[in-house]
Amino acid sequence: MGTFGLTFDALRAANLKRIPLFKNGKGEIAHPPIVEHGEDCGLASLANRCGDSCKQLTVGSDWSLGEWVTAVTGELGELANLIKKVRRGDLKLDDARPELAKELADVACYLDILALQCGVDLGDAVVNKFNEVSKRIGVDVMLGDPVAALATIPRSAELIEVLRNMRTQSGGWDNCPFCRGEYPVLDGKDPFEWHGPNCLLRSV
C-alpha cells in the first residue's frame, strides 16, 4: 500500500484530529482538550458555558514539552531495541523490517506532535534545514517546489490505477495529499483531470 506522497501537512492534520480521541490502555481519553478560562467564563458561576475570553489550548497541551520528548525517545528506544536484536543475531533484518517500519512511523508521528507543541511547522523546518545544510557543504541538492517534484512522476499504469482507486462514490477524493479537500473536475478521461482545479497533480 503506497502513500502516494504523504505530506507533513497531512500528518499534522491527522494528528490534530486523532490526539483528542486517543485512548490509553484502559480505554480512557488520554489527551482531553484543555480550556483556559477567562474572567467572564460562565463556568465560574455555574452557568455551564464559556465566555468570550476563554480559549482552547493547543491540542495535546495537557502534556508538557518534556513529556512529549519522552514519548519520542520512548519510540526511539523501542526502535533501538529491535536493531540491537538484529545486531545480536536474534532476528534477521528482513524478519524485523515490518516492526522496524512501525517503530519508525511512531517516531515520525510523535515528532510531529512535539513540533506542534513547540509551534513549529515540521515540513517547513525540514525544508529550510535541509537547504541550509546543502548550501553550507556546497551541494546543489535542495528541497524545492512540490510542483516541480511532481513533474518527475511518470504517468504509469500503476499510478493511474492509484488515482482511480482514490475516487469515492460521492465523486470526491478519499485523501489526495494535493487536492486539499477540493471537489474534483470529472469531465476529462485522464485521471489527472479528476482532481480539484487547484490540485498540484493537475499541473503535472
Structural domain harbouring 181: 146-203
The answer as to whether 75 is a domain residue is yes
- pTM score of the predicted model: 0.65
The answer as to whether 133 is a domain residue is no
**Does 15 lie in the same domain as 69?**
yes
**Does 113 lie in the same domain as 24?**
yes
**Does 110 lie in the same domain as 16?**
yes
The answer as to whether 50 is a domain residue is yes
CATH number of the domain that 80 lies in? 1.10.287
Contact 197, 176 (CB under 8 A): no
**Does 112 lie in the same domain as 46?**
yes
Residue 173 β-bridge partners: 167
Q: How confident is the model at residue 58 (pLDDT cuts 50, 70, 90)?
A: confident
The answer as to whether 134 is a domain residue is no
Note the pLDDT tens digit of each residue in 60-86.
888 999 999 999 999 999 999 999 999
Q: Where are the alpha helices (DSSP H) in 62-156?
A: 65-88, 93-118, 122-136, 146-150
pLDDT of residue 34: 72
